[in-house]
Amino acid sequence: MSETSVSLLERLREPADDAAWKRMVDLYAPLIHGWLRRHDVRAEDAEDLAQEVLGTAHRELTRFEHNRRPGAFRCWLRTITVNRLRAFWKRRQTRHEASGDSDVERRLAQLEDPASGLSRLWDREHDRHVLRRLLELLEPEFTPATWQAFRRLTLEEGRAADVAAELDTTVNAVLLAKSRVLRRLRREARGLVD
């Protein structure tokens, strides 16, 4: 994918952008699947349910309005996940496969409440997961030297002078590498992670 100033969220609004939707699935399927598994959804059901969440997001994204508040997309996706999870439990209850106990409803209500501890946990895990996955997906866009300088300086919190000496380059080159990767990451993550 060529470097562009258009964020993934903006690209997802284009129905013909298959690469953007592949990236969305690569980013979000593991996160959603993990959350579903923690809410007592069996592995085989979690896979189907994660697909339902992503399918709903795909259909509804044209109606999503980012209100410029931090976490708007994250909250929207959490709401879709809660609604799909509630429908799943309701289907299971009507088939007498689940008790539909109050604990499930309590956790769903907590996820719906943006001020709850469970929602704040979702927010933190969402942001960490998306940033980590975006970095993994963006790494091939950079030369190994640029990536290594970025990784050592930013992710491993090395000092610029030490990283430059270690990589036999200049401090300026190390700082430029950090700047290039962060600029690309910000573009890709705009609207997803606030």
What is the average pLDDT score of the chain? 86
**Is pLDDT larger for residue 174 or for residue 63?**
174
**Using one digit for the tens of pLDDT, what is the confidence trace for 3-25?**
334 588 888 887 778 888 888 89
Res 143: pLDDT: 97
172 pLDDT band, cuts 50/70/90, is very high
Report the 3 state secondary structure along the chain: CCCCCCCHHHHHCCCCCHHHHHHHHHHHHHHHHHHHHHCCCCHHHHHHHHHHHHHHHHHHHHHCCCCCCCCHHHHHHHHHHHHHHHHHHHHHHHCCCCCCCHHHHHHHHHHHCCCCHHHHHHHHHHHHHHHHHHHHHHHHHCCHHHHHHHHHHHHCCCCHHHHHHHHCCCHHHHHHHHHHHHHHHHHHHCCCCC
Residue 2, pLDDT > 70, answer no
Q: What are 106-135's pLDDT values in tens digits? A: 877 887 888 888 888 888 999 999 999 999
- Going by pLDDT thresholds of 50, 70 and 90, the confidence category of residue 101 is low
Which of 96-100, 110-114, 119-123, 160-164 has the largest mean confidence?
A: 160-164
* pLDDT surpassing 60 at residue 194: yes
Domain boundaries, the chain: 8-140, 142-194
Predicted local confidence at residue 96, as pLDDT: 55
Looking at residue 6, its pLDDT comes to 54
Residue 48 has pLDDT above 70, yes or no: yes
